[in-house]
Amino acid sequence: MRAISSAELAKFQQFIFDSAGITLSASKKELVMGRLGKRLGAHGMDNFSDYFRLLASGEDPAEVQIAVDLLTTNETYFFRESKHFDFLREKLVEARGRSQSYRVWSAASSSGEEAYSIAMVLSDTLAATPWEVLGSDISTKVLTGASRALYPMERARQIPAPYLRRFCLKGQGDYEGKLLIARELRNRVSFRQVNLNEALPHVGQFDFVFLRNVMIYFNDETKRQVVGRLISTLKPGAYFCVGHSESLNGISQELEQVAPSVYRKPV
């Protein structure tokens, strides 16, 4: 397999931008080679130009999805940036006792750890108040894993001990070294493929939307478009959470900041 050239890299940079709104810098050259190299082998190709022509032809939509999956960064873990979950818990206390379901969207849920972390907090805090969680991602591969809710035990390091005992099942036999999210949570967390860079499907209105550690891969115009779409799904008074290294400054003036990297839609 020949190394990817700058011209070939530019084509894949445009491909993933058009597909997912993600901006890949030139420094990601080794990442692109590493992730797509096996696909060249699968098709008996020895250069990236031939593989790009396959994607561009539109003759194999499944291969296009595989390429998108491979080029989408999917790093996550349970209770990442834990202060956001503390904030969520505070707001849930105020929502106890209401009859309307409390809805949260993990809009870039990757392999599901964020969505299940949210579900643990909801279940623990809301008691009898109804709730539901939607997890979405552009990658069908990670969503399949998220629906299984089966994770390596080492991923459990950040899960609070009471939640680990209550919401996680320790694997045995063939599942030694793994944990399974309890059915009571799995039944109330749904996953679906959503491309945030396109018009959103009908997902309803939410009390809280998480869009964390995703905008760092978008340019400013894409950020404005994605955030605008997601704001339209917020109920009045609902909250919008971005990663600690992210901000809506210069991106949107529709929300007011209420805490570090947490915003609120005016009532």
**Is there a catalytic annotation at residue 137?**
yes
Q: Which of 35, 80, 155, 264 is catalytic?
A: 35
Mean pLDDT of all residues in 58-86: 87
With cut-offs at 50, 70 and 90, classify the pLDDT of residue 74.
Answer: low
Backbone angles phi, psi at 63, to 5 degrees: -70, -35
What's residue 241's pLDDT? 97
Question: Which of 114-123, 137-146, 203-212 has the least mean pLDDT?
Answer: 137-146
What's residue 86's pLDDT? 96
Mean pLDDT of all residues in 140-169: 92
Question: d(Cα 151, Cα 148) in Å, to the nearest integer?
Answer: 9
Residue 238's CB is within 10 A of a number of other CB atoms, namely 22
Question: d(Cα 196, Cα 157) in Å, to the nearest integer?
Answer: 30
Question: Which of 66-70, 80-84, 206-210, 237-241 has the least mean pLDDT?
Answer: 66-70
Percent of the chain with pLDDT over 90: 70
Does the structure show a pLDDT above 80 at 138?
yes
Q: Which of 103, 137, 207, 212 is catalytic?
A: 137
Enumerate residues 6+ apart whose C-beta is below 8 A from 111.
Answer: 74, 76, 142, 145, 146, 151
With cut-offs at 50, 70 and 90, classify the pLDDT of residue 120.
Answer: very high
Structural domains of the chain, ranges and CATH numbers in brackets: 6-71 (1.10.155.10), 83-264 (3.40.50.150)
What's residue 127's pLDDT? 82
